[in-house]
Structure 1
Amino acid sequence: MATMQEMPDESAFQSTVSALPPSTLAIIYFHAPWAKPCEQMGVILKTLASTYPADAPIKFLSLNAEELPEVSEQYDVTAVPYIVLQKDGKTLETVSGSDAFKVRAAVEKYAGAGSGQSSSLPPAQTVTRPQENGDSTGKNLAGYAPGSQDPRTAPDYSAGEHREGEQQTNKDELHRRLGELVKAAPVMLFMKGTPSSPQCGFSRQTVAILREKGIRYGFFNILADDEVRQGLKEFADWPTFPQLWADGELVGGLDIVKEEFENDPDFLSQHAAGAPKTAA
């Protein structure tokens, strides 16, 4: 699968860009380590990258806007996160901010236009019976690290009222973050473990169903982040996992997913391999 490549300096960026074939779409992501929205946008872009095969004509590049000021000036970067979509040295579109739908729509718009890339799955692996590993159809939120280092997540206990207000702020912030995560890919599976190594039978069965139906999806291992694990129960008003989301809306757990496919053979077919891409 494709990955997002960090550019350490201007020389590496220029050489990488100049070596790209004219037909390759370059997604150039400007970020700053101190900007909280950049952390979330990094998750979104890494998820998008992982939905493309490694040999697809698309390249995801990540740059620290402050450490590469010449490149930032070249692209008129005045705020982060900032994404430039470029092909053959020409800017096709720019996206400023952390709107997941806007970014995904822009990427899919140009990745699907003349790039030779159709909506396809990476090489399939067999989904086996319990006790064995599953497949790698799902795309992980690669590189995601919980924001526990953020000072806003460390309440000040010097005063009860201040603590209560701080906790409410943290809760609102978490819900904003979850709102972006559930939209990080057109179909998102929040599961225990990963598709290649599910940590519960329900997650394993859900992965098997999605694989059987050929659905392209992103996934998040809720065992790796307890904040997301607990917060998503309230955010979704759904107390168990796995949870399947489509286009930012909760579908449900394993039983609901089974019912949806049994009642409608075309359920989620727009997100299957080979289905035409549509802008969000």
Structure 2
Amino acid sequence: LAAGSREEKMANLVEATSQKDFEEFLAKAGKCLTVVHFHAAWAPQCGQMNEVMAELAKEHTGTTFVKLEAEAVPEVSEKYEISSVPTFLFFKAGEKVDQLDGAHAAELTKKVQRLAVSGGPAGAAEAPDLNQRLKKLINAGPCMLFMKGSPQEPRCGFSRQIVGLLKEHNIQFSSFDILSDEEVRQGLKTFSNWPTYPQLYVNGELVGGLDIVKELAESGELENTCPKAVSLEQRLKSVISQSPVMLFMKGNKEEARCGFSRQILEILNGTAVDYDTFDILQDEEVRQGLKTYSNWPTYPQLYVKGELIGGLDIVKELKESGELVSVLKGES
């Protein structure tokens, strides 16, 4: 109760219990940053993140922090396609400029600090870095599909249809869930001058969306447009070498889906070495194939320059011995 009463006295930490409240808070904030926490009473991690927000509100008095119970205000949650809690949306001048999914206190703090002082949308000052990241994603596989959801669980009808077409024509493809990364979702529209999803890329070049893929399928050109299916071994080699440091885990950087994956993320985040992740829950072929390919039966699995380092226990040992950073940099 004491914590709650402290929060109530803070003018910039408020609760929206209706769509009208939400819209009024955005309007009052004007060009200043507004952070909206979509939460649920049943999720303990949401309570923890509310405490983090309360601390941030003390430090950033010019920023408005809004708590909104996702299921209690469905009009707002549906409008912004909130599919899990906690989710944080960032607004300026009434426009959404960024998103953070999951209970990541450090990342929330970083985004608030950056957006509270920047004059423009998230990533505006980091456009060159974002463009590099988009190029890397587009070239992550010979045939890359940017979609809502995953091939196993498409999150919209257009994505479901395009996945069906690609599978029907035996086209092997990699995918990226644009709902998991707002920066990529917005940035790719501008980067490729293509405003909608799904988007299909072949060898780093945009092919188009569902309509174009349908036309190619009907004309018989789809198989020629997309590269021939590669063997599982070739695919695994390609994925392992996608980045100098690759972590195969349950979940992703933003949200680990098991305790071992969460622990290894914390260790890697503490090294300041760049790394990429692959969610083995989204790709059963990779999940099973990699166990045999590397003769390592469990996850997470960490690779450096295409070579298996090991799982959580080995990474812990490397950290304790002080060798982890040099191993990650490929120096030993």
Into which bin does the TM-score normalised by the smaller protein fall? 0.3 to 0.5
TM-score, structure 1 length as denominator? Answer: 0.39
TM-score, structure 2 length as denominator? Answer: 0.34
Q: Which has the higher helix share?
A: 2
